[in-house]
Structure 1
Amino acid sequence: MKKRDIFIIITVLIFMMLIRTPIKARVLEVIDMDYMEYLSKAGKADRPDLELIIPAWDYVDTDMDNIQVIDNLAGIKALATSESGYVEWEVEIPESGLYNIEIKYFPLEGRGGDIERALVINGEMPFDGARFLEFPRVWTDEYGYWIDNQGNHIRSPQKEVFIWQTKLLEDSMGYSSEPYLFYFNQGSNKVRLVSRREPMAIAYLKLFQYASPLAYEEVVKEYREKGYKKVDDFICIVQAEDALYRSSKTLYPVYDKADPTVEPYHPAQIRLNTIGGQSWNKAGQWIAWKVDVPEAGLYKIGIKAKQNVRSGSFTVRKLYINGQVPFKEAEAIRFNYSNYYQMVVPGKSAEDPYLIYLDKGENIIKLEVVLGDFADMIANTNSVLYELSTIYRQIIMITSRNPDPMRTYQLENKIPSLVDRLQKQSKTLRRLAFELEEYTGEKGDHVSLLNSLAHQLDLLAERPDDRIPRSLAELRDNLASLGSWILMTTEQPLQMDYLVIAGPDEKMPVASPSVWQVLVHELKSFIASFTHDYNQIGNVYDEGKSIKVWIGGGRDQAQTLKTMIEDSFTPVTGIQVNLELIQEGVILPATLADKGPDVALSVSQAVPINFFIRKAIVDLTEFEDFPEVATRFKYSSLVPFKYRDSVFALPEQQIFPVLFYRTDILQEMGVDLPQTWDDVLHVIAELQKNNMDFGLPYSNIEQIAVGGIGEATSGAGSIVAHAGVSTMLMLLYQSGGELYKVDGIETNLDSELAIDAFTRWTELYELYNLPLYYDYANYFRMGEMPLLITGYTFRNHLEVFAPELRGKWGFTLLPGTLREDGSIDRTSPALGYGTANQGPGAIIMKNARDKEAAWEFLKWWTSTETQVRFGRELESIMGTAARYPTANIEALQLLPWRVEELEVLLEQWEWVKGLPEVPGGYMVGRHLDNAFRKVIYSHEPPRETLLEYNRKINKEISNKRREFGLETELEKLPAEYQKMYWIEEAD
């Protein structure tokens, strides 16, 4: 089939499956059984030596609306499945037993994330890992690198390669070193795949027995039997950055200027000379290279690589040759810790390398991240952490988080088998520590942590009633450290310079630099620090039509943006862009000195209003096509950048709150998710019976005091820094109230609705004793706070940093207020939720040399295509934890969310209400927090306290309005401004 035909088929499928396909969320219950328990339950079940092929198109049931059989997809008959719903097959099993499953699949274009499915057999999900089956996409460079006019290499964006692949169903976390086994009964069985993320086409499902590779000695015998010969006088170097394919967008070429032996090398300019590093660390990630050899025969392989992250340990890779692991030893190739590159030649020793057979011509060499023998250790440690977290939660249900050390709680009597459970986990930890020391050959911090926790558990088990109350905080800290240990051990980073394919007797290149090379390198780097401007990103233009753009954030983000500018903005518009990485606090003094930018990106939410009322930035409504551009965003995201009829910034990001919950704990307690605030009060009572808490947003006092880096007073005093205030605003908005009166001339905090909302807010803490400040990530992780309201980006943190909770948490709509018609109002503001730079925007400075060119840039930057690409590129650089919270409506839907997650986000987004920034409004958050704390700490009456601080707020608003020539009395306000301009007018 021609590539053009494949493209047409894929395009049609995109239209059918992604363009607003009705979303079917699948809510799956917690599966308590892990894979090891499942195998144990299966006992000594047979593993029949059978192979059964289930054609995908021969399905018996589905609820997918757009499922389609394709007779010829890249030469194969296939079933195209959508990103939601299920498809089910019936298979006749001649002999009951355990089987491996392999699926041949073809990724269809979607949101760019890994494809995810859940497997159900005969109506039941067999174990928890069966819910998270991943099918990677394949990526490559869109083109070779290009060189900017400063001499730096600029990497190519990644593009997806649509090809057929086969995938053994296995643990996506890498905790099992062998592919999953599934038990089937004799006779008719039903196999169901439930779509959780992204569409894909399937050719078949194969049930069979996976055969592990033979040991090297056995393979050598086969070499002799087949007459394979060693190849002489041949050596070939393949630069690692020239990889053919990779399984993740994060695996792109990177630069290393710290080592003079890398190829190519420059002491000051950027050279894309390596691949991998910290981004190549997750189990299952792979990189493949194409190698051409002159004749078939036996070769040795060398890998020039550096692993300088895991001190006292090593990382592991699995080697594939043309899709197959050549021998058992190739399943776990070690790369020891070193500050410099090493030449690793797999073998018994440097003098006795493993020989690998390669065909004449083209061969594909692939290296995959695996955990090796770490896999079972991490899986067992993960189970220990979850069990100890459960024990800890059961303890605080009796003692609270702050037990009385003088009281006897009779924990041994109240918690079933407490001592036995503590002793069992201690023995497991000691065994794991011994195995880890044996495996790594070192007794470092990674071993001592396990022994230290085991020792503590032994002490607690000896005298639980006496020691546990006094050691609870220490136990909690040790469990947090154990969670960090799991994350650290799971990561397997490796940075590669090149591959060497050589005859067995060839001498390998020297990988590490000499002392002289290091000295020369350091001298050149020092000189370059005086001659190179590292604030400039990419091409720098002195002539022609150009604009100066400043951006805050990190260099990776800036470099990504510059690459996108050079390949998709400047060629189309002819507008050249000088991009500089600058801290936000520099903008104002630079503007006053007439040395500021034309455009500033990632500007904190509170900054634009201060610039606008000083006539320092452009009113974007002056541009004719502004109304069309504004439709890209929710009205709520424009509100902070709006004053009267003017809009002075375009939103880049918008974060809003959702309700996170621990499924396992709520299921154990029999507690339903709260739908209204009345439900919340009932849930709080149930939680507090067990010494657990409900988490509401809180104001980070340190952040409020100092602001973000470079923000000075801009974000520090803004209401966006006071996330704790959002609870009151939720209650106020849901009851139909408003924060400000018309034109923002003063607050509405003296209204009965506001006083009632403030009173209810304070009562949540006075009457229910909710925590004022807490470590929400660890409280949620440890189960101390199984319900938590915070920004939706917390999901990214959990996905990466709490692997032991996989499948045991979720997020849903906020609790709301019941309306008279029976519906629930779930309105909420978008506030800080952990960052003072909430909802950053893009502005055009008043003294911009070419305002039309600057506007063209803002339109391009906030467009769906650009925001999607930037979000995906950012995630490819920094991983899932950096999922981009774009304010562009369409772009958010095209980022790689799971179906059920996206459904919740889109529905809650409809309830988000924009918070206007008004002159003097920085006092609102500050004094609402002051009033709140005065009520809580000093037990002052809510009404009088709020009214007192309201007078202070309104005084500051009046002073600021007077300073900028605005009316301070409602009677003198022109009729055209006597409106709440932040409320969206009905069409």
Structure 2
Amino acid sequence: MTRKMRGVFRQGYKTPAARTPHKALRNAPCGAFCAIRYCRFCAGFPVCRKNGAAQKWKPKGLLLAEVNRMLKKKKVVSMVLALALTVGTVTPCLAASGESNGKSKLASGESPYTSSSVSSWTDESVLTGAWSLDWAKAKINGGAATVTDGTVVLNAKSTLTFDVPITENGTYKIAVKYCPKDAMYMDCLLDMTVNGTDDIASLPLLWADGYSVYGTDRKGNELVPEQISVPQPYLDFLADYHDTNMDDLTYTWEAGTQTVAMTPESQDVVLYGIYVCKETTLPTYKEYMAANAGKADAKDTKIIEAERYMVKSDSFIRASSQKNAALYPYDTYAKLLNILDGGTWSSAGQKILWEFEVDTDGYYQLGLRYLQNSDTNKPVYRTVEIDGSVPFAEWKTVAFDNTRTNKFDNKVLDVDGEPAKVYLTAGKHTLAMEVTIGPLEEIYDGIIKLMEDINAFGMDIQKLTAGQADVNRTWNMDYYMPNAVNDLLAFADRTDALYAKLEEISGANPSYADSLKYASETLRKLTKRPNQIPNKSDLISQGDNSATKYLGNVLSNLNTMPMAVDRFYVGNTEKLPSARSNIFRNTVESVKAFVWSFSADAAEGSYTATGANKSTELTVWINRSVPYVQVLQQIIDADYNSKYGTNIQLSIMPNEQKLVLANATKTNPDVVLSAGIGTPFNFAVRGAVKNLLEYDDFLSFYNQNYNLQALVPTTFNGGVYGATETQDFYVLFYRKDILKALNLSIPQTWDDVKYMMPTLLRYGMNFYIPLSVNTSYKNFAATNPFVTQNGASYVSADGSAAAFDTDPFLDAMTEMTELYEIYGMNSAVPSFYNSFRYGEIPMGVATFGTYIQLQMAAPELAGKWGIAMAPGTKQADGSILRYQPAAGTACMIFNNTTRSDEAWQFVKWWLSTDTQVKYAYLMQGTYGTEYRWNTGNLTAFSQMSYSQEDKETILKQWEQQKEITYHPANYMIERQTSDVWNGVVVDQESLVEEIDRATLVTNRELIRKLEEFGFCDKDGKMIRNYSMDAYADLQEKLAEVKAKEAGTN
């Protein structure tokens, strides 16, 4: 053991260069101080990558001698203490080297992708002998296509039509050479109609890192660079959007003329060519080797850093940092981007391309260091391409076994147990890997079909029982459903067969699919008592313990294929560097990091808000997580700080309670971003935040791009104390497939909802609104739509009394309660998302969060759901009021700021359309759709990457945004409104009695709060008016501003 430890410290660790003795502490030629590691800039290469200086390191041997001396004496504790002391010496040197100076460093350099790498996305040799479209014979929207320099622009919703002459029966694919016009952060979806048959095809948009040199934050941590759309044309085949594996869309055609029409759903595309190719078969590895017989093996090995890709199919595929001393690059004190993030590269069809160069002709092997720990005993799969094509059939689906939690392993790609070889000529080449689910596709499709069949069976049960399960009733199933038992047993057998297939694929117990066993057991259990089957519908296709729920749990595990990669090895892979660092290296790094954590540098790099900045810089706190803050800091550094010569550094506010404490101790920031929508009001009534109307251009600026209604919750007594930056949306979600099966249409009014409730209940289904949330407290967001649509308000116009006993409010509460008492809505839905997904509630009013959930986590519902404007209340003139709240988060400026003008300048920059668009694109481009930014800037939102149909629906719903004016006794108004609803629906009390009780309690609190803030005297007499119509006040002030501006002009 001692001998082994000595060897470790003598040899150091492997680098892209050959192993070199690592000698104690020394300075690299670039000036960076090193300890038990190579300079992160030099990386062991003969020439320093930082400044080109040649390496001339003279060993000092200090640390090595001390460690060896302790090893001989076997004084391990002393060794650790010595290392800690060494770190205490090293840390100041690192600080002095300038790696972390408290400021962010912008990313720089050209984008790393090359023109040749883009051209190799798909090997253009596949077009040999292919049919090519003559633009003169194509039509767009029935007219001749406009051709410019050999290209045609196909705009969204425009249809390109052309005929394809086929001379031979066979299977064909369509290839397109294209480039996006104003790329959106989503694949280009095409509605395809071929000979009258409809399909949806997908074309990826290529993305690349915007910079070759990573920027850093104030702590020296490297940041994921901005993403750019590749502007040059590239070739790819149309992919089948509904195919689990996103394989190429194929058509089986007979000889003759085939009519093809393609319509982009939302992305404008520049077309350079359309081609039709006959599908070919890949050669086997044996056939490939025979075709290249007599070639020699290459001797050298090239290393490709996985995080240094050229282009990729999704913008959010990104590099990531992992603290692992075996990875390259690595730094004890800063997070370096050193791996390809597996979590962002996990969905079928996602493809990444790298470029490399070899010196000699010959056979090359391919190895890699990777991490795959998604599910125990579950392999993940990749398709491997060289120079734009799969060289042989065995690389169409390559399996990568589980490596255990956070453990990297080496793998050499093989065929039949022997390393696979590819022949490469000297020069540049490309390596690409695409996510595929391989043999699991059959299992996935089998589960989908099984769920559909079980749901159909469940629907028949619902028809039989009319949605009412009576445990005291028994059923003669031989009469009503004679095949029920056999059907359930058949479902169970199919489930067992799927599990057995997974066992065969994994070669071990597929624990990640244990829910299949639970589903089978549930189905078999139902057959034990056939006469009770209709009473157990919750075990068939509804509820958290249903068979379909268990089956659905397995789906998300099957189609998720994450795999992180550190580096690739191309060449001789007989002796790859170890994939893991040894225990002694890890100990050294842990001690160094522990000691450094007490240093000033470590504290300085934190985003944590610790109090007001005493410097001359504006202090900004933000109520967001680290990813949001890092991206915004990047934009601030590149844009605002650069433009205005400032050095604004964001700080994360862990919770809004810290604002209260900071305000009390006068250590509050100048500006707060992403505060809760009620926060500006709460601070305004106490005089702590600035009235934004003091800035002459505020109202006109905000009104240009935002909905004026969004300011209502931030107003207080004629002032505006916050500016809404994000907006939610309440829209109607509906299942297209279920509405079609039930012959129901999208409801426009609440009367329409009432009309369809009997049909839904007959099949054991329901309708969801926010009042149905599984909590007793019903907030303003749940009750506000009914109150405002009925022309009611919660309190009187002067804020002195509750308006619960007015006729409009009574009408609103009557409708809110009768939907449950008379029409049968479910009053406690644990999860609308799950109920919607499993078909229990096929329609409901929900928010932005549900929209993202369905897009990201319900792949089986793709194309089966949509959104529409929320139902409303029909007016006497025939119009429909669809009022819904929308305000999300707000920004505000504290009153005691000494930099008032600068604070407003910053807030205005943040709310501007350009900044909001850039931030939204950068968040989604860097972290994926789940980080989509729901900006309140209407102009910016119109440029977001939503489908055009959904975007129009959301914008129309926002036209019906209706917010309530806040009152100092808001909490009591909201609570008593909730209590009225609970009293009637849950406790079965009289509505009138509940209204009387709530009015008495609320009036008492209204007067108490108005007296506290000087609006009435102790006898309840109003001293000054408290306006409850903030929107009318804002419109009046806006009219004054416009009149003033017109007079000035």
TM category, shorter: 0.7 to 0.9
Where do residues 221-370 of structure 1 align in structure 2 (5 Å cutoff)? Answer: 221-224=290-293, 227-232=294-299, 234-257=300-323, 259-338=324-403, 339-348=406-415, 352-370=418-436
- Larger deviation: 92-101 or 645-654? 92-101
1:602 maps to amino acid: S
Match of 2:953 among 881, 904, 907: 904
> For residue 153 of structure 2, what is the amino acid of its counterpart?
A
For residue 222 of structure 2, what is the amino acid of its counterpart? Answer: H
Partner Cα separation in structure 2 for residue 468 and residue 976 of structure 1: 59
- Give the C-alpha shift of residue 702 in structure 1: 5.5
Q: How many residues align?
A: 898
Does structure 1 residue 826 correspond to structure 2 residue 882?
A: yes
> Mean alpha-carbon deviation: is it higher for 809-818 or for 945-954?
945-954
Partner deviation per Cα, 1:432-479 (whole Å, 9 max, x = no partner): 211111111111323432233223323434643334524734764242
Partner of 2:682: 610
- The Cα shift of 1:489 comes to 1.6
- Contact 1:139 1:159 (C-alpha < 8 Å) held by counterparts: yes
Change (3 A) 1:416 1:983: farther
1:199 equivalent in structure 2: 268
Distance apart, 1:170 and its partner CA: 2.6
SS class of match (2:177)? strand
CA distance in 1, matches of 2:808, 2:801: 16
- Pair 1:235–1:545, CA change in 2 (3 A): farther
1:145 Cα deviation (Å)? 0.6
Whether the aligned pair in 1 keeps the contact of 2:245 and 2:436 (CA below 8 Å) is: no
Aligned to 1:15: none
C-alpha distance in 1, partners of 2:771/2:351? 42
Q: Secondary structure at the match of 2:239?
A: coil
Higher relative contact order (CA 8 A, sep 6+): 1
Identify the residue that residue 507 of structure 1 maps to in structure 2. 575
Secondary structure class of the residue paired with 2:846: strand
| Equivalent position to 2:603, from 517, 527, 533 | 533
One of 644, 656, 664 as aligned partner of 1:573 = 644
Bigger shift: 186-195 or 459-468? 459-468
1:731 aligns with 2:786: yes
Deviations 1:476-503 (A, max 9, x none): 4242232122112211111111122223
- Letter of the structure 1 residue corresponding to residue 698 of structure 2: F
Work out whether residues 548 and 598 of structure 1, in 8 Å CA contact, stay in contact via their aligned partners in 2: yes
Bigger Cα displacement from structure 2, 142-151 vs 236-245: 142-151
- TM-score, structure 1 normalization: 0.86
Inter-partner Cα distance in structure 2 for 1:910 and 1:686: 31
Which residue, 627, 632, 638 being the options, matches 1:556? Answer: 627
Task: Check the 8 A contact 1:243/1:289 in 2, yes or no.
Answer: yes
Amino acid at match of 1:513: S
Would you say 1:448 and 2:514 are equivalent positions? yes
Please point out which of 445, 460, 482 is paired with 1:379: 445
Matching residue of 2:179: 106
2:145 corresponds to 1:89: no
Contact 1:116 / 1:134 at 8 angstroms: preserved in 2?
Answer: yes
Match of 1:936 among 981, 985, 1006: 985
CA contact (8 A) 1:739 1:749 kept: yes
Which letter maps to 1:272? L
CA distance in 2, matches of 1:331, 1:679: 52
Q: Distance in 2 between matches of 1:110 and 1:103?
A: 17
Aligned position for 2:699: 627
Uncovered stretches (5+) of structure 2, i.e. residues with no partner: 1-127, 1040-1049
* 1:612-649 deviations in Å (ceiling 9; x for gaps): 11111111121232123312211122111122432111
Kindly state the Cα deviation for residue 930 of structure 1 after the two structures are TM-superposed. 0.5
1: distance between equivalents of 2:179 and 2:134? 14
Separation (CA, whole Å) in 2 of partners of 1:538 and 1:920: 33
Question: C-alpha deviations, 1:746-798, integer Å up to 9, x for none?
Answer: 44333211111111111111111211111211211121111111114312111
Deviations, residues 835-880 of structure 1 (Å, cap 9, x unaligned)? xxx6111111222242222222212222222222222333345432
1:141-152 equivalences in 2 (<5 Å):
141-152=210-221
Q: Distance in 2 between matches of 1:316 and 1:588?
A: 51
- Asked if structure 2 preserves the Cα contact closer than 8 Å seen for 1:173 and 1:283, the reply is no
Long gaps (5+) in structure 1: 1-48, 705-718, 831-837
Q: Distance in 2 between matches of 1:275 and 1:52?
A: 38
Which residue of structure 1 aligns with residue 661 of structure 2? 589
- Describe how 1:458-469 pairs up with structure 2 within 5 A: 458-461=524-527, 463-467=529-533, 469=535
Residue identity matched to 2:411 = V
Residues 309 and 56 of structure 1: CA distance in aligned 2, closer, same or farther (over 3 Å)? farther
What amino acid is aligned across from residue 782 of structure 2 in structure 1? Answer: G
Letter in 1 for 2:290: K
Q: Bigger shift: 870-879 or 462-471? A: 462-471
- Equivalent of residue 135 in structure 1, options 194, 204, 209: 204
Look up the equivalent residue of 2:899 and give its one-letter code. Answer: D
Secondary structure of the 2:972 match is helix
Q: Do the aligned partners of residues 131 and 414 (structure 1) sit closer, same or farther apart at CA in structure 2, a change above 3 Å counting?
A: farther
8 Å Cα contact 1:150-1:539 kept in structure 2: no
- Paired residue for 1:71? 148
TM-score by length of 2: 0.81
Q: For the residues of structure 2 that align with 1:981 and 1:286, how far apart are their CA atoms?
A: 50
Candidates 853, 861, 880, aligned match of 1:797? 853
Closer/same/farther in 2, CA of residues 768 and 625 from structure 1, 3 Å limit? same
- Offset at residue 819 of structure 1 (A): 2.7
Secondary structure at the counterpart of residue 146 of structure 2: strand
What is the match of residue 197 of structure 2?
A: 124
Report the CA distance shift for 1:191/1:757 in structure 2 as closer, same or farther (over 3 A): same
Instruction: Determine if contact 1:535/1:581 at 8 Å carries over to the other structure.
Output: no
Which residue among 678, 688, 706 is the counterpart of 2:751?
Answer: 678
User: 2 CA distance for matches of 1:304 and 1:918?
Assistant: 60
Work out whether 1:753 is the aligned partner of 2:811.
no
Q: Which amino acid aligns with 1:327?
A: F
Query: Is the partner of 1:368 in helix, strand or coil?
Result: strand
Q: Is the 8 A contact 1:538 1:562 kept in 2?
A: no
Q: Identity, % of aligned pairs?
A: 25
RMSD of equivalent CA atoms: 2.9
User: In 1, are the aligned partners of 2:748 and 2:870 still within 8 Å (CA)?
Assistant: yes
Letter in 1 for 2:496: R
User: Which deviates further from its counterpart, 948-957 or 603-612?
Assistant: 948-957
Which residue number corresponds to residue 965 of structure 1? 1014
Displacement of 1:659 in angstroms is: 0.9
Per mean C-alpha deviation after superposition, the further-off stretch among 885-894 and 590-599 is 590-599
Q: Aligned partners of 1:641, 1:250: CA distance in 2, in Å?
A: 35
Deviates more, 1:895-904 or 1:381-390: 381-390
* 1:880 aligned onto 2:929: yes
Asked if 2 retains the 8 angstrom alpha-carbon contact of 1:152 and 1:538, the reply is no
Contact 1:84 1:899 in 2 (8 A): no
Change (3 A) 1:142 1:481: farther
User: Following TM superposition, by how much is the alpha carbon of 1:701 offset from its aligned partner in structure 2, in angstroms?
Assistant: 6.5
The whole-number CA distance in structure 2 between the counterparts of 1:957 and 1:481 is: 51
Q: Which has the larger Rg?
A: 2
1:220, distance to aligned residue in structure 2 (A): 0.7
Q: Is the 8 A contact 1:172 1:284 kept in 2?
A: no
Q: Does 1:426 align with 2:492?
A: yes
Distance (whole Å) between structure 2 residues aligned to residue 512 and residue 761 of structure 1: 62
Most deviating of 802-811 and 536-545:
536-545
Alpha-carbon deviations, 1:561-591, whole Å to 9, x = none?
2222211221112222222222222111122
Counterpart of 1:677, as a letter, is W
